[in-house]
Copies of this chain bind each other. A is one copy, B any other.
């Protein structure tokens, strides 16, 4: 079995997806927020690439049950209901609703996963559950880290390493590409330091400057959520 990791969604452009299980990771903050929204009872989260796509999708029939979420430059988009903070996605705000979401890096990574047989959203919050899901699925795995504006991001790589370490069960014969080996090494030599890794990476420092310290701390929690959001059509839903 193979594990292929792309450190940015741009890097994934030439990756074979057919027949594979794809995992999208954007720890700060898109996939952490998506996992939280599904845990809070959102009916579905629809990742779209642009604010305009989000507004168009919101005009469709069941619009009374739709909320718009996401960010540009880390901040809520004008006219949207919510930004990209997981704390905004509570049972009260999104329970039973459709969340249409667009973010700078994360929602584009889902577009890069098109063609995979199954696609899931992973964050540190649900990394153990995603590993269990992938082991049951039994397919070759493609991990697409969102990265930050085209650059390698240490938070995503750390989460990817945590995921791969949980997949690499003794006895199984896994083949890792260079990116996957790097993620395992980065995580394995920094295990238990998720708070420090997220606070010190470039994106974590930027979020702290914007006042989102609490989000960074929240996103560094490991295995607090059992949900594995799975893409069905264009929607991420509870598995």
A interface list, Cβ under 8 A from B: 6-8, 10-11, 13-14, 148-154, 157, 177-179, 181-182, 185-186, 189, 201-203
Asked if A182 contacts B179 (CB within 8 A), the reply is: no
- Determine the distance from Cα of A186 to Cα of B187 in the docked complex, in whole angstroms: 11
- Determine the distance from Cα of A181 to Cα of B189 in the docked complex, in whole angstroms: 13
CB distance from A25 to the nearest CB of B (A): 14
Given A6-B151, A150-B13, A152-B152, A189-B178 contact (CB < 8 Å): no
Q: A13 — which chain B residues lie within 8 A by C-beta?
A: 150
Given A185-B186, A186-B185, A189-B185, A11-B178 contact (CB < 8 Å): no
Q: State how many copies of this chain the complex holds.
A: 2
Asked if A11 contacts B151 (CB within 8 A), the reply is: yes
Q: A10 — which chain B residues lie within 8 A by C-beta?
A: 10-11
CB distance from A238 to the nearest CB of B (A): 32
Asked if B151 contacts A177 (CB within 8 A), the reply is: yes
- Determine the distance from Cα of A11 to Cα of B152 in the docked complex, in whole angstroms: 8
Q: A148 — which chain B residues lie within 8 A by C-beta?
A: 178
Q: A202 — which chain B residues lie within 8 A by C-beta?
A: 177-178
Asked if A179 contacts B150 (CB within 8 A), the reply is: no
Name which residue of chain B comes closest to A14, CB basis. Answer: B150
Given A8-B11, A11-B10, A152-B182 contact (CB < 8 Å): yes
Choose one: B7, B149, B154, B185; the contact of A181 (CB below 8 Å): B154
A selection of 28 A-B contacts at a CB cut-off of 8 Å is: A7-B7, A8-B11, A10-B10, A10-B11, A11-B11, A11-B150, A11-B151, A13-B150, A14-B150, A151-B177, A151-B179, A152-B178, A152-B179, A152-B182, A153-B178, A154-B178, A154-B181, A154-B182, A157-B182, A177-B202, A178-B201, A178-B202, A178-B203, A182-B182, A185-B185, A185-B186, A186-B186, A189-B189
CB distance from A101 to the nearest CB of B (A): 24
Name which residue of chain B comes closest to A149, CB basis. Answer: B14
